[in-house]
Amino acid sequence: MEPHGKEEAGSPEQELLSSPSPWRVLPILSEQQSGPVELVPAYAAPVLDPRQTSRLVREVSAALPLPAQPHLKRVRPNLDASLPHALELLLCLAGDDSGTCTLSELLPPAVDPHGLGPPFLVPVPARPPLTRAQFEAARAHWPSTFHEDKQVTRALAGRLFSTQERARMQGHMQQAVRAAQRAAARGLRAVGAVVVDPGSGHVLATGHDCCSAATPLLHATMVCIDLVAQGQGRGAHDLGPHPACSFALAAAPQAIRPGTVRKLDCCDKDGEDGLPYVCTGYDLYVTREPCVMCAMALVHARIRRVFYGAPSPDGALGTHFRLHARPDLNHRFQVFRGVLEDQCRRLDPDT
Amino acid sequence: MEVKAGSPAATSGAHSVSAAETEKWMEAAMHMAKDALENLEVPVGCLMIYNNEIVGKGRNEVNQTKNATRHAEMVAIDQVLDWCHRSGESPSEVFEHTVLYVTVEPCIMCAAALRLMKIPLVVYGCQNERFGGCGSVLNIASADLPNTGKPFQCIPGYRAEEAVEMLKTFYKQENPNAPKSKVRKKECQKF
Nearest to A292 among B69, B85, B140 (CB): B140
Of A148, A147, A127, residue with least CA distance to A138: A127
Do the beta carbons of residue A225 and residue A290 sit within 8 Å?
Answer: no
- Judged by CB atoms closer than 8 Å, whether chains meet at A350 and B147 is answered as yes
Residues near A181 by beta carbon (within 8 Å), at least 6 away in sequence? A190, A192, A347
Contact A277 B178 (CB under 8 A): yes
B42 inside 8 A of chain A by CB: no
| Contact of A322 with A333, CB cutoff 8 Å | no
Fold of B19-171: Cytidine Deaminase; domain 2 (3.40.140)
Give chain B positions within 8 Å (CB) of A266. Answer: 185
pLDDT at A344: 96
Q: pLDDT (tens digit, 0 to 9) for every residue of chain B, 191 residues total?
A: 333 444 444 444 457 899 999 999 999 999 999 988 998 888 999 999 999 999 999 988 898 999 999 999 999 999 999 999 999 999 999 999 999 999 999 999 999 999 999 999 999 999 999 999 999 999 999 999 999 999 999 999 999 999 999 999 998 876 656 665 544 443 333 33
Among chain B residues, the shortest Cα distance to A257 is held by B189
Which residue in chain A is spatially nearest to B141 when comparing CA positions? Answer: A292
- Evaluate whether A75 touches A35 at the Cβ level (below 8 Å): no
Quote the mean pLDDT of chain A: 88
Chain B residues 97-116 with CB within 8 Å of chain A: 107-113, 116
Chain B residues in contact with A312 (beta carbon < 8 A): 147
What counts of helices (H) and strands (E) characterise chain A?
Answer: 10, 11
Q: DSSP letters along B73-117, please?
A: HHHHHHHHHHHHHHHT--HHHHHTTEEEEEEE--BHHHHHHHHHH
- E strand or H helix at A88, and its extent? strand A87-93
Task: Determine whether the interchain pair A217/B137 forms a contact, defined as Cβ–Cβ distance below 8 Å.
Answer: no
Measure CA B105 to chain center.
Answer: 6
Least confident residue range of A191-200, A217-226, B35-44, B62-71: B35-44
pLDDT at A274: 73
Q: Look up residue B170 and give its amino acid.
A: F
- Tell me the residues of chain A between 225 and 244 that have a Cβ less than 8 Å away from chain B: 225-226, 228-229, 232-236
Residue A106: enclosing H or E segment and its boundaries?
Answer: helix A103-106
Residue B8 touches partner A, C-beta closer than 8 Å: no
Q: How far apart are CA B46 and CA A62, in angstroms?
A: 57
Q: Which residue of A has its CA nearest to B179?
A: A268
pLDDT at position B180 is: 56
Output b/e per residue, A199-228; b: 16+ Cβ within 10 A. bbbbbbbbbbbbbeeebbbbbbbbbbbbbb
Which of B69, B147, B176 is nearest residue A225 as measured by Cβ atoms?
B69
Which one from B73, B89, B96, B105 is the annotated catalytic residue? B73
**Cβ-based neighbours of B24, under 8 Å, separated by 6 or more:** none
Show the domains of chain A with their CATH numbers: 34-156 (no CATH), 161-252+276-346 (3.40.140.10)
Residue A241 vs residue A14, higher pLDDT? A241
Which residues, at least 6 apart from B86, have a Cβ–Cβ distance to it below 8 Å? none
pLDDT, position A45: 96
Q: What is the distance in angstroms between the Cα of B124 and the nearest Cα belonging to chain A?
A: 19
Domains of chain B, by residue range, sit at 19-171
- Asked if this assembly's ipTM is beyond 0.90, the reply is no
Nearest CA-CA distance, residue B120 and chain A, Å:
17
Helix axes A220-231, A163-185, angle to 10 degrees: 110
According to the model, what pLDDT value does residue A182 have? 97
